[in-house]
């Protein structure tokens, strides 16, 4: 279970039509599965990953060697129990862990780079639906996602309502706010301002815009935490020194932490993928896709929904989840919602939280 292995690859044989009007030809989806698929194929749980996540939800990451990103939630006897569920987690298109993205080879043998089409959350889900078709899974027991994974779960429920019985959306939103877009734009501009970015054509050069990507990650990382969490973890404490250096080294622990997060991230993530995926999130507005009314997105759905938010999440605050709940109520859908208390902001969905475990377990079983 904890051994990192090369992912399964599914080749999408048909062209994948995209919201932009373009098509993606010869796309591949890299995915991991955990637990046995029941004979009647009724126990499949699709887990959708977040912006910088990947398919290694419950197995070691092949580059970092770290445990899967939701290993505390997924596994034998865990809230999403692989003893009774067949868990599928796939890398989204546009990403860089085996699924087709800007770093992949185009038909001319060179990397797509910025020739990769701009994709949307719905396009990512199209890729996932193609994978499910290939795996012959008609109806998911549950689709689960946190953050951007929640957007995919909502998009799946709205656009392919017959394909999931249960929809679990954690710390997410039905649309990106101006503030969400603004933070993403800071990240993109940091990457594009790095001379090594070279208009996205850096794959052959051996250089990559690591400095820009690290700054993007640092800015984004702040939005995943809470002020309370940062204060508790770092306060104004100094990093391995007794007094301020009167210079621009990482005097403060919080600086050192962010620099570490930034540089670690560049080891495992492609800068162009970061551009494309943040764009997809910024374009996400589920109501807009459905005539401007979110309730329309869920009209006639027979799925059961569960939404969870965290009181210190200022990236996708509780109001965003409530907005979705109200639309689901208006559509007459079966919906549960709870705001959980947690000190660590948006990231809380990835961290130890007993109440979250009980909600997930109760909803999924």
Catalytic residue selected from 210, 251, 282, 313: 313
Q: 217 among the known binding-site residues?
A: yes
Catalytic residue selected from 49, 176, 184, 346: 346
Active site residue 323: no
> Where do we find the tokens 């046995």?
36
* Among candidate residues 262, 269, 213, 277, the one with its CA nearest the CA of residue 96: 269
At residue 130, the 3 state secondary structure works out as helix
Core vs surface per residue 319-345: b (16+ CB within 10 A) or e: ebbebbbebbeebebebebebbebbbb
Per CB under 8 A, the list member of 112, 183, 298, 363 interacting with another protein is 363
Binding mask 282-321 vs another protein (x if CB under 8 A, - otherwise)?
----------------------x-x---------------
Burial class (CB in 10 A: 0-12, 13-18, 19+), 55: buried
At residue 76, the 3 state secondary structure works out as coil
Give the phi and the psi of residue 343 in degrees, each rounded to 5.
-80, -15
Please work out the total of residues on this chain that contact another protein, with binding judged by CB under 8 A: 21
Residues of this chain, 318-337, that bind another protein according to CB under 8 A? 325-326, 329-330, 332, 334-337
Q: Report how far residue 315's alpha carbon sits from residue 220's, in angstroms, rounded to the nearest whole number.
A: 10
Burial class (CB in 10 A: 0-12, 13-18, 19+), 295: middle
> Where do we find the tokens 């689960």?
144
Given the complex with another protein, which of 127 and 345 has the nearer CB atom? Answer: 345
Q: 166 among the known binding-site residues?
A: no
- For position 20 contacting another protein by CB under 8 A, the verdict is no
Active site residue 61: no
Given the complex with another protein, which of 73 and 215 has the nearer CB atom? Answer: 73
- For position 171 contacting another protein by CB under 8 A, the verdict is no
Given the complex with another protein, which of 216 and 324 has the nearer CB atom? Answer: 324
Per CB under 8 A, the list member of 92, 340, 342, 350 interacting with another protein is 340
- Choose the stretch contacting another protein; rule: CB under 8 A; options: 201-209, 215-223, 279-287, 357-365: 357-365
Annotated binding site for substrate: 217, 347
Which positions are annotated as active-site residues? 147, 313, 346
């Amino acid at each position: 279970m904890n051994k990192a292995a090369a992912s399964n690859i599914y080749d999408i044989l048909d062209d994948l039509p995209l919201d932009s009007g373009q098509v993606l030809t010869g796309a591949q989806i890299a995915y991991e599965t955990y637990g046995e698929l029941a004979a009647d194929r009724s126990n499949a749980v699709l887990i959708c990953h977040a912006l910088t996540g990947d398919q290694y939800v419950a197995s070691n990451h092949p580059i970092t060697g770290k445990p899967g990103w939701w290993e505390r939630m997924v596994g034998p006897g865990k809230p999403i129990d692989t003893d009774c569920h067949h868990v599928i987690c796939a890398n989204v298109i546009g990403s860089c862990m085996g699924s087709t993205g800007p770093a992949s080879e185009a038909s001319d043998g060179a990397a797509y780079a910025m020739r990769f089409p701009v994709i949307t959350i719905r396009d990512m889900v199209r890729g996932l639906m193609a994978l499910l078709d290939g795996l012959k899974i008609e109806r998911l027991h549950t689709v689960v996602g946190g953050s951007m994974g929640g957007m995919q779960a909502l998009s799946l429920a709205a656009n392919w309502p017959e394909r999931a019985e249960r929809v679990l959306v954690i710390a997410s939103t039905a649309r990106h706010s101006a503030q969400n877009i603004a933070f993403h734009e800071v990240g993109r501009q940091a990457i594009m301002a790095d001379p090594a970015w070279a208009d996205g054509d850096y794959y052959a050069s051996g250089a990559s815009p690591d400095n820009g990507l690290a700054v993007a990650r640092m800015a984004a990382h702040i939005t995943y935490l809470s002020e309370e969490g940062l204060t508790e973890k770092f306060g104004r404490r100094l990093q391995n020194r007794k007094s301020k250096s009167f210079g621009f080294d990482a005097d403060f622990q919080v600086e050192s932490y962010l620099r570490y997060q930034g540089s670690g991230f560049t080891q495992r993530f492609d800068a162009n993928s970061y551009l494309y995926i943040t764009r997809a999130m910024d374009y996400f507005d589920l109501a807009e896709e459905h005539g401007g009314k979110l309730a329309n997105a869920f009209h006639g759905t027979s799925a059961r929904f569960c939404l969870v938010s965290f009181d210190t999440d200022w990236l996708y605050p509780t109001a965003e989840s409530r907005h979705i709940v109200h639309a689901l109520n208006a559509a007459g859908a079966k919906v549960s919602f709870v705001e959980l208390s947690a000190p660590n902001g948006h990231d809380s969905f990835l961290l130890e939280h007993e109440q979250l475990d009980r909600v997930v377990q109760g909803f999924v079983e």
